[in-house]
Amino acid sequence: MPDPARSQTQEGAVSAAGDSASADVPPCMATMDVVPDGDRITVTVWGELDLGSRRLLPDLHDILTLSGSGIDLRLDAIGFCDCSGLNVLLDLRMRALDQGKTVTVRSSGRAVERLLDLTGTRELFTVPGPHEAAVRPADDEPGPRAADDQDLRAEVAQLRRAMQTRPTIDLARGILMASFGLSPEAAWSVLVRTSQNTNTKLHHLARDLVGTIHGNTLPEPVQQQLAAAVASTTTTCPASGAAKDSD
């Protein structure tokens, strides 16, 4: 088992990734503490979960392997989380499934809560019930065992769907960045705000936005809310627009 408390700094995360991290992956803006808790390991993360957070995966995979039944995440201090950060959580969840373990989000802040809700992935990281980790039924009890297998297959299918939406969301964010001179964070804010104001799932909005490249047109209400979100973002964060003008 790892030390009772291990602090993983940003620099440590980068070095842990080593040569496996792509050269174009930005620095990791998150730190984490690791504390064993019985047969599970609690990982507290704070900072930002973005593309650079992929550098945490090698350490997270090692922690998962060392755990008895899985990892409990505490994400209350995450100030920013985009689909790249979510993909890190999904990657870890898939690895846990392969090992017959679980990854749960025990607590989280607003940024993570919003992303889990918008992508419909919250239930993949829910806390198990008090008796959920009990001894598995014997092979001569096919009923409950069959139900467990069916639930697992459904969970894997949900994970795959969630991971498949990430490239579309990233592409939509890139379109907004190029079209309006937004920073990655501002583009993400525009997507989230438009999704909320139009009651549209984030990946559906991203798909429709990508479709405009091929000549499709966004519905008028969506266009209006998108324009309002861009205007609000550029007003509150004028630096992004100014940076474009200075190029």
Residues 56 and 112 occupy one common structural domain = yes
Residue 33: domain span: 6-129
Q: Which of 106-115, 127-136, 226-235 has the highest mean pLDDT?
A: 106-115
Model confidence band, residue 9 (pLDDT cutoffs 50, 70, 90): very low
Whether 10 and 95 share a structural domain: yes
Instruction: Using the 3D structure, point to which of 108, 129, 150 is the last residue of a domain.
Output: 129
Boundary-marking domain end, from 103, 129, 155: 129
Q: What pLDDT digit, counting tens, does each position of 60-96 carry?
A: 999 999 999 999 999 999 989 888 888 899 999 999 9
Same domain, 95 and 176: no
Please spell the DSSP secondary structure of 146-173, one letter per residue: HHHHHHHHHHHHHHHHHHHHHHHHHHHH
Nearest CA-CA partner of 175 in 117, 221, 201, 214 = 214
Give the count of domains, the chain: 2
Q: C-alpha dihedral over 243, 193, 50, 45, to 10 degrees?
A: 130
Is residue 109 located within the same domain as residue 63? yes
Does a structural domain hold residue 134? no
Q: Are residues 178 and 226 in the same domain?
A: yes
The residue ranking higher by pLDDT, 149 or 80, is 80
The answer to whether residues 119 and 195 belong to one domain is no
- Name the nearest CA neighbour of 115 among 43, 191, 56, 173: 191
Give the integer Cα–Cα distance in Å for 14 and 54.
Answer: 9
Q: Are residues 113 and 24 in the same domain?
A: yes
Q: Which position has the token pair 């804010």?
A: 189
pLDDT averaged over the chain? 76
pTM > 0.85: yes or no: no
Greatest mean pLDDT among 27-36, 65-74, 160-169, 228-237: 65-74
